[in-house]
Structure 1
Amino acid sequence: MGENAVTKNQLQQHYHHQVVDVPQGGSKCFDDDGRLKRTGNVWTASAHIITAVIGSGVLSLAWAIAQLGWIAGPVMMFLFSFVIYYTSCLLAECYRTGDPVTGKRNYTYMEAVRSNLGGFKEKVCGVVQYLNLFGVAIGYTIAASISMMAIKRSNCFHESGGKNPCHLSSNPYMIMFGVTEIFFSQIPDFDQIWWLSIVAAVMSFTYSTIGLGLGIGKVLVTGQFRGSLTGISIGTVTQTQKIWRSFQALGDIAFAYSYSIILIEIQDTVKSPPSEVKTMKKATLLSVFVTTAFYMMCGCMGYAAFGDNSPGNLLTGFGFYNPYWLLDIANAAIVIHLVGAYQVYCQPLFAFIEKWAAERWPKSQFISKDIPIPIPGFRPFKLNLFRLVWRTLFVILTTIISMLLPFFNDVVGLLGALGFWPLTVYFPVEMYIAHKQIPRWSTRWLCLQTLSLACLIISIAAAAGSIAGVVLDLKVYKPFKTSY
């Protein structure tokens, strides 16, 4: 509260001529909690969600469906989309404690857990959530470098007429991505990256559409609709591999849909009235519908085009065939999208550390002082030295780990599998039960707990599949020496 009061006093001194107090502590410039008016709406919230959801995960869905087949693949995608939508609606209800319009706001996922479930579960949630965000930052660094290399390799392959194998090291590309993220990481707050989210969402549609188009094109050229009802056949892979790969496919689908870890933070950018819950439910429905339609089309057409040989990454696994310039556009769109998605996922982690540091050392000028940097034609940029140093170190660390473990996508799949149940299902269900005071052993309580248990089993299976993938990678592992 003290922090909010100081913020409000400072802002009121700056905007005193615009402030007119209204009931419940709000005003023309400030919300009911003393913070500047939130300006987000259904469209900006949807852009944030789509940016977070349609990540490079969409490109592995053809591979995932190839492991599961024409029946189980689409069915599992529909089930995951329903679970994500339902639990996201439960989570959105927990943004305010008490009354859905005037209750106390929970600014982060962890605050919502603390308000509804208590301190110990908040700590558990924090560890899982921020470890997951850290893992996603590493995964996105690797994914971006693979797409940058795909551009270089497709051009090299085209120029040499297919004679040059064009082996490249991923390290320079990871460093380039890291330098870009150091620059964008200086954007102070989550609500100031809405424009980056919209650009990233447009890019995600661009490369998904190109992937879809290339899949359709290949089906038309070959005249074959490949694939089978049960997926990759035993013989192509062993029975054990089939089981592990099917489990890993579940992890891929779960990871492709995962965004609950930043839902509360997105909801905190939304203006009211109408109530934030109504806006967020609309944004969630719109986003899940759009992403599921795209996922089904990209995953199914990729599988139809390649059958059991569907590549792990649809756009870098095309073999760099013509039109090579179209693949270049698609991979460039992936890189631009991942620049934005990295920020959408990391901003909550940045905010958590900065808030903790401000509370730990309240009198430190290094942590609290903003230095205005004049920008011609724009408002001065407020440079904070602590933010500059800590965020830069964070990006450097994620880049170094990416270079050390370039197969980290399997580890991120593992983090996705481990994070899916607690963050997407368990905590939203438990918070909703506490928030709505649903009686134990009532029909609704039993249904919610059954959903949670089923998702726990899926998460354990997906984690096991990802661990098997990591074990295989470790057999051929050479730090800093991986080339593609």
Structure 2
Amino acid sequence: MVENTAAKSHSHQVFNVSIDIHAQTGHNLLDDDGRLKRTGTVWTASSHIITAVIGSGVLSLAYAIAQLGWIAGPAVMFLFSLVTYYTSTLLSSCYRSGDPLTGKRNYTYMDAVLSNLGGAKVKICGFVQYLNLFGVAIGYTIASSISMMWLIRFLGCDETGLLRGLIVSTRVEAKIHALWWLSIVAAVMSFTYSSIGLGLGIAKVAENGKFMGSLTGISIGTVTQTQKIWRSFQALGEIAFAYSYSVILIEIQDTVRSPPSEAKTMKKATLISVAVTTLFYMLCGCFGYAAFGDMSPGNLLTGFGFYNPYWLLDIANVAIVIHLVGAYQVYCQPLFAFIEKAAAQRFPDSEFISREIKIPIPGSRSYSLNLFRLVWRTCFVILTTVISMLLPFFNDVVGLLGALGFWPLTVYFPVEMYIAQKKIPKWSTRWLCLQILSAACLIITIAAAAGSIAGVVVDLKSVKPFNTSY
């Protein structure tokens, strides 16, 4: 699952999640496919990846490390970074079909799946992507609502818990249209609140005068042995969620110039970006755990309570809201486009679906209002909000999203496409190694999903839906 991108527009292809991040350079020269000459470099690709990866997932890393401890926590994070880097290099090799310099380009993740695997696997991949986008919409609603509730409390307003924040979030998301500048703003905001969380963690450690936590994480007694196991599994999903960006890697690669081959450039960019991201994650997660120990909060910024500096926490929570509201628009656009195109194809003569109503706006161009788009998108926002009210569990949802997106999108499809692309013989040593990696990651995904679902079940016992403060 990807949290924040430099997206500017979205493809409307069926079963295709596409986020077009081409820079409009105005260059007159064309590439081999007739498109504008690509000018991306190792550094521009690295910056795209870093801004795509670092997002709300960083807020749960301290909690994840608290479940695993000082030994397993950083080790697991490092292993996830290695797997993500390796499978990303496999995926980058699938950008062109055939020759790495002159072969047919695959502009999106789904194009690569179609070219290399085809058949039913394309539909399966599309289903997984859209399901993941739906889950991300729910997760973003929960996270932004928690921050809104913090701001409401800080301002001294009367509030009735998470419900108020969810309603406010819904109103904002239902009214804002996906604009190109949302991605830029979202990238800035994600770095803002992540950096504030890191800075406050360092300050808290300095105030305590020592590093909190233990080698094995939260101790039995604070939680039961069963809870310890489930929480450890859930932590795997939370770390996986923080590294999810494979679904947009091909789109980023499509901005890179050649020669050298795009795959060669992308492998260098992936190494740089994963190294930078891992360092940042290690700092945020470890200093958060060092600051709070076993009591590390699910959302790092909520752990600092209502103590000084108020203004810094205000900035961080405002940044979270702005980022996630913007990211909500960006990530839901492919899902919106798919449903709207499918409806238009299924009911070509329906005026409700196809008719555009022109609404004159003084001093500007008229606004085109499509009733089906208005009704469908509003219902979608309401649905994600209702589910968020029923399951207002940030860590459980993040862990589940990480589990659902990690194996299929980050590991399985890149591995299978690479095997098909390079025509690796079945049962060869290389084939077996790749299949063992895929199987191991599948086990991790199942464990993470099970831990997150168990967390939801446990939390539901102590939560009254629609009337609970988070």
Provide the TM-score with structure 2 as the length reference: 0.83
Q: Could you say which residue in structure 2 is the equivalent of 1:219? A: 205
User: For 1:224, what is the secondary structure of its paired residue?
Assistant: coil
Q: Could you say which residue in structure 2 is the equivalent of 1:424? A: 410
Following the alignment from structure 2 to structure 1, what is the Cα–Cα distance between the partners of residues 101 and 360?
A: 39
Q: Could you say which residue in structure 1 is the equivalent of 2:20? A: none
Whether 1:168 and 2:154 are equivalent positions in the alignment is no
| AA matched with 2:99 | D
1:275-301: CA deviations, max 9, x gaps? 543554444334322321111001000
The correspondence for 1:316, drawn from 302, 305, 309, is 302
1:165-199: CA deviations, max 9, x gaps? x7632233223323333344444xxxxx3x43232
Unpaired runs of at least 5, structure 2 = 1-11, 14-25
| AA matched with 2:263 | V
Q: Could you say which residue in structure 2 is the equivalent of 1:84? A: 84
Unpaired runs of at least 5, structure 1 = 5-18, 20-26, 158-165, 188-192
The correspondence for 2:316, drawn from 330, 334, 338, is 330
Of 388-397 and 416-425, the range deviating more from structure 2: 388-397
Residues 357 and 464 of structure 1, relative CA distance in 2, 3 Å threshold: same
Residues 281 and 93 of structure 1, relative CA distance in 2, 3 Å threshold: same
Q: Could you say which residue in structure 1 is the equivalent of 2:106? A: 106
Following the alignment from structure 1 to structure 2, what is the Cα–Cα distance between the partners of residues 302 and 222?
A: 12
Q: How does 1:472-483 map to 2 (within 5 A)?
A: 472-483=458-469
Whether 1:68 and 2:68 are equivalent positions in the alignment is yes
Following the alignment from structure 1 to structure 2, what is the Cα–Cα distance between the partners of residues 48 and 346?
A: 19
Following the alignment from structure 1 to structure 2, what is the Cα–Cα distance between the partners of residues 109 and 368?
A: 29
**Cα shift at 1:412:** 4.5
| AA matched with 1:317 | G
Q: Could you say which residue in structure 1 is the equivalent of 2:23? A: none
Following the alignment from structure 2 to structure 1, what is the Cα–Cα distance between the partners of residues 147 and 166?
A: 11
Following the alignment from structure 1 to structure 2, what is the Cα–Cα distance between the partners of residues 83 and 464?
A: 21
Residue pair 2:178, 2:329 contacting (<8 A) in 1 also: no
Following the alignment from structure 2 to structure 1, what is the Cα–Cα distance between the partners of residues 245 and 439?
A: 20
**Cα shift at 1:319:** 2.0
Residue pair 1:151, 1:327 contacting (<8 A) in 2 also: no
Following the alignment from structure 1 to structure 2, what is the Cα–Cα distance between the partners of residues 180 and 30?
A: 40
Following the alignment from structure 1 to structure 2, what is the Cα–Cα distance between the partners of residues 382 and 37?
A: 34
Residues 40 and 394 of structure 1, relative CA distance in 2, 3 Å threshold: farther
Q: Once the two structures are aligned, what percentage of the paired residues are identical?
A: 77
Following the alignment from structure 2 to structure 1, what is the Cα–Cα distance between the partners of residues 175 and 160?
A: 26
| AA matched with 2:173 | E
Following the alignment from structure 2 to structure 1, what is the Cα–Cα distance between the partners of residues 329 and 441?
A: 28
Aligned-residue Cα RMSD (Å) equals 3.3
Residues 362 and 167 of structure 1, relative CA distance in 2, 3 Å threshold: closer
The correspondence for 2:246, drawn from 249, 255, 260, is 260
Of 138-147 and 407-416, the range deviating more from structure 2: 407-416
Q: Could you say which residue in structure 1 is the equivalent of 2:172? A: 180
**Cα shift at 1:45:** 5.0
Whether 1:210 and 2:202 are equivalent positions in the alignment is no
Following the alignment from structure 2 to structure 1, what is the Cα–Cα distance between the partners of residues 378 and 39?
A: 29
Q: Could you say which residue in structure 2 is the equivalent of 1:190? A: none
Residue pair 1:65, 1:73 contacting (<8 A) in 2 also: yes
How many residue pairs get aligned? The number is 445
**Cα shift at 1:381:** 8.8
**Cα shift at 1:367:** 6.2
1:426-450: CA deviations, max 9, x gaps? 1110111101111222232222112
Residue pair 2:37, 2:257 contacting (<8 A) in 1 also: no
Residue pair 2:85, 2:270 contacting (<8 A) in 1 also: yes
Following the alignment from structure 1 to structure 2, what is the Cα–Cα distance between the partners of residues 404 and 300?
A: 31
Residues 39 and 335 of structure 1, relative CA distance in 2, 3 Å threshold: farther
The correspondence for 1:236, drawn from 215, 222, 232, is 222
Q: Could you say which residue in structure 1 is the equivalent of 2:137? A: 137
Residues 249 and 412 of structure 1, relative CA distance in 2, 3 Å threshold: closer
User: For 1:317, what is the secondary structure of its paired residue?
Assistant: helix
| AA matched with 1:179 | R
**Cα shift at 1:341:** 2.5
Residue pair 2:234, 2:396 contacting (<8 A) in 1 also: no
